[in-house]
Structure formats: C-alpha cells, structure tokens
C-alpha cells in the first residue's frame, strides 16, 4: 500500500465505515487545515479535547504560523499538551495507528500526520488468577490488554536491560504482540529465532491462543505442551531473570514463556513461597500423581487380564470376587469408564459453572453407583479410574494434564492388547519421544538429561534459594551468574 498521506486517501478508504470519525480543523485561521481522524469508541474524547483540540484552538502562537511543517514542529515541541506525540510519513503505519485507537492530525500539504495516543478500552480489572491458585504470593493476574500486561511485568523487573519489542500479527487483525526479554541475560539467538517465527506468521486473525501457539511450537505432532502459559506476573518475571523469553498477545489473558521444559510444567510458584522441604514434598507428590494417572489404569488391565499371578493373593481374590457377574473384560471396563470420565469433565466445562459443578458430582455418583449395582463394571475399576482421574487434576499445567490423559488412553490400549509387554513398549516409546524433543536448542527433559550440576537443584527437590547461584548454560550462555559475584 504505497499511498501518500492526505485526507482524500483516508476518506476513500474509510468511506463505508461509520465508526471512523473525521473533521477538518482550521489551525490559527491562517490557511493551515488539519484533518482529525480516529475510531469512535476507542478514543478518550475528554483527553482528546483537553490535550489536543483546546490547545490548538486557544494557542495565540499558532495564529502566526502559516506553514504545515512549522505547525507540526510547534505541536511536537510542546504546543499540544500530550506526552505521546509522533510524526508519521508512512500511510500503512498511519492506518495501523488510527485503527488501534489513536488520534491522527493529517496535514495534506506536508503529506504528514501527527499521532496522539488517546486510546481508551473497556477492560476488566486486575484480579486474582482463576487458573493458578495463590495462597502465599501476589494476587494480581494478566488481563486481555497487552499494555497492562507489560506494565505488570515492568513493575517487577525494573532493569534497564528489559526489552519490550512490539510486533504485529495477522493480515487483517494486526494483533499487537509484545516480545519481552532481558538483553544481557537471554540467549539472543533464541530471541532472534522467536522474533522471526512471529514475523513470519501469515494468518488473517489471531482468534484463539492455538492460532498463535502452533506457529511457535517446533515439534507440532507432539501432544505434550512445549510452550508454557501463565496468568501470574511474578512467575513471568522469575523466568525472565532466568534468561527465558516472554510473549504477551493482545486479547489473550495470559503470557507465554519460552523455552519450555517438562520440569517447568510440574512446578508451581507456591513451591518457592513455602519452606524448601514443604515445596520439595509437594513436587514429589505431583510426580507420584503423574505416574499414577498415567500408568495405574494400564497396570490394572495388564495385571488382571494377563499376569494376575503378580498380584498378592488377597488382592487378586478381592478383585476376582468384585468381577463376579460382570460380563466385560477389565480392558473394556477401564476404557469405558475412562471415556465416561472424560465426557463428564467436558460436560462440566461446557455448562454454566454452577450447573456444571453439580452435574459433574451428581453424574459421577449416580452413573458410577448405578453401573456397579447393574453389574456393568466392578467396584475396583471405579476406584482405579477415580484415583487416576483425581491424580491428573493435581498437575499444575492443564495442557500437560491433557497430554497425560491422551497418553493414559494409549497405554491402556497397549496393556489390553499385550499386557505388561505392551505397557513396557508404550513406556519405551513415551520416554524416547520425550527425550527426543528439543525446544529452541534446549532438551525438553532438561535438566534430567544434561550434566549441569546447578540445574538439578530445582527439579524433583527444591533446594534452598541460596543454592540457586547459576543459570542454565543453554538458556543464558553469556550470563550464568544468578547470585554472588
């Protein structure tokens, strides 16, 4: 779009748009005409009147100026009572500023425009995170406005090296994206790679987070999350100082963090808010829960269908007695109940919150009890699936929980087909897949698969804060000192 900046081109472009306001302004009544353009509803009209229009109409000095360029220079140097004022000579950039809610004064003779940031948005207030519970820590969370999100981070990281680059994504939506990193810590090769990926996104609109995430993920066919998202500014700030990169997208109420590794998804900010022994205990519980939700249904199928001699005699007899008069195999029972469990979860998410919660509890109790009494499933299977399902809810990251749930189905199928041999084959495939993933030059299973001693002090166990003296060499290659000299 190679057009000259003038009011006619803008009027032709916005001729059918009723929300674009425009009016001519005679500056100083000496022949200098400027045309005001903006989007109705996105501009703060009171700010526009007070800081721009009133000074222009009352300033005696403007009555002596008869040249567009001199008027522009005077307004930029303080004639307009506004902190943000820039001169624009590119037509496409001018359109982007106008449609983002800024006010533009267009000077036809000079073929230039002055941009004033008088944006206003209807936005919800900063509230406590809904997806990440906070017991001991900051209770503010990100919202849908990108600039508010960057401010929340800037409040916590006041370093002059914190860079907030503003990019645009979407041929038609032109969604604002903020790329944030600390320049003297982050790996600039990773920063450049992520920036290039964002600039190369060729899509009309960023309507959902997945439209953006899939372009950043390097291993697109993996069901495990390779990009961490969070609602908590304190968590983003901590990752920035570790050398990672944060991305905020306008309209999305959370911030992405890259590179992402599996241990990051198993951690919670509450681990660092409590005593290190308590934090370590909570982490161990999470890892145990992940193993239970992943392998317990498959282990039950394999042990009761193929190798029941591996179970203690009392447990084997108890399971056998519970399966009396049940016409289905253990594999069919477990798979059917897992599917029913997922249906209840999905129904609870789609219904209104008050109805969904009651339906999930009622549905689980009524359907489960009725199925047991009707001899469709055994009570043991209900206990196994319920325990596996509850253990899955302990995982801090919902994307990881979804990936674990899909893997749980696959392992259950393999166990139903091949018993412990199928389960072992599935385990080997799963570990091989996880170890093969690489996320912007960092192994997905890091630090479990690398030899950096400093990285192992914040994995299964959370060591005291005084032990965190080094950053990861692969994430921050040029600045690894975190504490001390």
Report d(CA 482, CA 485) in Å as an integer.
Answer: 9
Position 75 scores a pLDDT of 84
- Residue 244 and residue 167 share a domain: yes
What are the helix (H) ranges across 351-467? 353-373, 379-393, 398-436
Report if residue 454 sits inside a domain: no
pLDDT of residue 361: 63
Residues 177 and 241 in one domain: yes
> Does pTM top 0.75 for this prediction?
yes
Mean pLDDT of 61-69: 80
Any domain includes 473: no
The residue with greater pLDDT, 390 or 344, is 390
* 470 burial level (CB within 10 Å; 0-12, 13-18, 19+): middle
Is residue 162 in some structural domain?
yes
Domain that holds residue 42: 7-116
- Asked which of 84-93, 143-152, 326-335 is least confident by mean pLDDT, the reply is 326-335
Q: Are residues 301 and 418 in the same domain?
A: yes
Check whether 453 has a pLDDT greater than 70.
no
Determine, yes or no, domain membership for 125: no
Decide if 137 is inside a domain: no
Q: What is the mean pLDDT of residues 108-116?
A: 89
Provide the number of structural domains found in the chain: 3
Is residue 131 a part of any domain in this protein? no
pLDDT at 1 over 60: no
The kind and range of the H/E element at 300 are helix 276-305
Q: Is residue 177 part of a domain?
A: yes
- pLDDT for 247: 94
**Look-up of token digits 């009622």:** 362
Predicted pLDDT at 298: 92
Q: What is the pLDDT of residue 322?
A: 67
CB under 8 A, 24+ apart: contacts of 163-166: 165/195
Does residue 301 share a domain with residue 361?
yes
Tokens read off for 45: 């009209």
Same domain, 246 and 287: no
- Evaluate if residue 393 carries a pLDDT over 90: no
Task: Name the pLDDT band for 432 (thresholds 50, 70, 90).
Answer: very high
Share of the chain above pLDDT 90, in %: 20
Select from 203, 237, 260 the last residue of a domain.
Answer: 260
Q: 158 and 198: one domain?
A: yes
Q: Assess whether 40 and 105 both reside in one domain.
A: yes
Lowest mean pLDDT among 83-87, 128-132, 294-298, 481-485: 481-485
Q: 228, 260, 292 — which closes off a domain?
A: 260
255 plus 276 within the same structural domain: no
Query: Distance between CA 23 and CA 386 in Å, rounded?
Result: 66
Range 402-416 average pLDDT: 92
**429 shares a domain with 300:** yes
282 and 157 share one domain: no
Instruction: Supply the pLDDT for residue 478.
Output: 80
Whether 351 shows a pLDDT value over 80: the answer reads no
pLDDT at residue 237 in the model: 92
Query: Given a cut of 80, is residue 83 above it in pLDDT?
Result: no
Does residue 468 form part of some domain? no
Question: What token pair was written down for 68?
Answer: 């567009």
Task: Name 226's Cβ contacts closer than 8 Å, sequence gap at least 6.
Answer: 217, 218, 219, 260, 437, 439, 444
Give 222's contacts (C-beta < 8 A, 6+ positions apart): 433, 437
Average pLDDT of the segment spanning 102-112 = 89
Whether the pLDDT of residue 164 is over 70: the answer is yes
Same domain for 427 and 360, yes or no, is yes
pLDDT (tens digit, 9 = 90+) per residue, 261-298? 998 899 888 888 888 898 889 899 999 999 999 999 99
Whether 80 and 212 share a structural domain: no
């Amino acid at each position: 779009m190679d057009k000259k900046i003038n009011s006619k081109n803008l009027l032709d472009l916005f001729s059918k748009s009723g929300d674009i306001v425009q009016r001519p302004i005679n500056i100083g009544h000496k022949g200098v005409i400027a045309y005001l353009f903006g989007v109705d509803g996105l501009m703060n009209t009171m700010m526009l009147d007070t800081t721009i229009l009133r000074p222009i109409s009352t300033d005696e000095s403007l009555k002596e100026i008869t040249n567009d360029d001199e008027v522009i220079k005077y307004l930029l140097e303080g004639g307009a009572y506004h902190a943000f004022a820039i001169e624009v000579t590119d037509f496409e950039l001018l359109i982007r500023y106008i449609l983002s809610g800024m006010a533009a004064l267009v000077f036809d003779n000079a073929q230039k425009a002055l941009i004033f940031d008088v944006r206003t948005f209807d936005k919800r207030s900063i509230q406590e995170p809904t997806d990440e519970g906070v017991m001991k820590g900051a209770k503010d969370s990100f919202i849908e406005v990108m600039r508010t999100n960057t401010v929340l981070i800037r409040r916590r990281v006041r370093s002059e090296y914190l860079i907030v680059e503003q990019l645009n994504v979407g041929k038609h939506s032109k969604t604002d994206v903020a790329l944030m990193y600390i320049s003297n810590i982050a790996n600039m090769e990773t920063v450049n790679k992520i920036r290039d990926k964002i600039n190369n996104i060729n899509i009309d609109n960023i309507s959902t987070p997945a439209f953006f995430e899939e372009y950043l993920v390097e291993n697109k066919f993996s069901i495990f999350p390779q990009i961490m998202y969070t609602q908590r500014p304190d968590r983003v700030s901590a990752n920035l100082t570790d050398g990672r990169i944060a991305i905020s997208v306008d309209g999305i109420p959370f911030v992405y963090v890259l590179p992402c590794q599996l241990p990051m998804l198993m951690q919670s900010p509450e681990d660092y808010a409590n005593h290190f022994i308590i934090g370590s205990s909570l982490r161990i519980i999470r890892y145990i829960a992940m193993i239970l939700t992943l392998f317990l249904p498959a282990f039950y199928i394999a042990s009761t269908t193929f190798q029941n001699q591996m179970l203690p005699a009392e447990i084997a007899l108890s399971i056998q007695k519970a399966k009396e008069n049940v016409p289905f195999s253990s594999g069919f029972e477990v798979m059917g109940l897992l599917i029913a469990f997922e249906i209840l979860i999905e129904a609870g998410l789609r219904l209104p919150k008050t109805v969904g919660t009651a339906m999930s509890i009622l549905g689980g109790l009524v359907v489960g009890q009725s199925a047991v009494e009707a001899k469709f499933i055994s009570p043991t299977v209900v206990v196994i699936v319920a325990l596996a399902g509850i253990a899955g809810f302990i995982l801090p990251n919902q994307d990881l929980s979804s990936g674990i749930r899909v893997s749980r189905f696959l392992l259950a199928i393999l166990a139903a087909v091949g018993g412990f041999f199928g389960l072992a084959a599935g385990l080997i495939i799963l570990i091989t897949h996880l170890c093969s993933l690489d996320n912007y030059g960092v192994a997905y299973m890091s630090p479990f698969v690398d030899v950096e001693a400093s990285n192992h002090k914040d994995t299964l166990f959370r060591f005291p804060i005084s032990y965190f003296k080094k950053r990861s060499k692969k994430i921050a290659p040029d600045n690894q000192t975190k504490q001390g000299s």
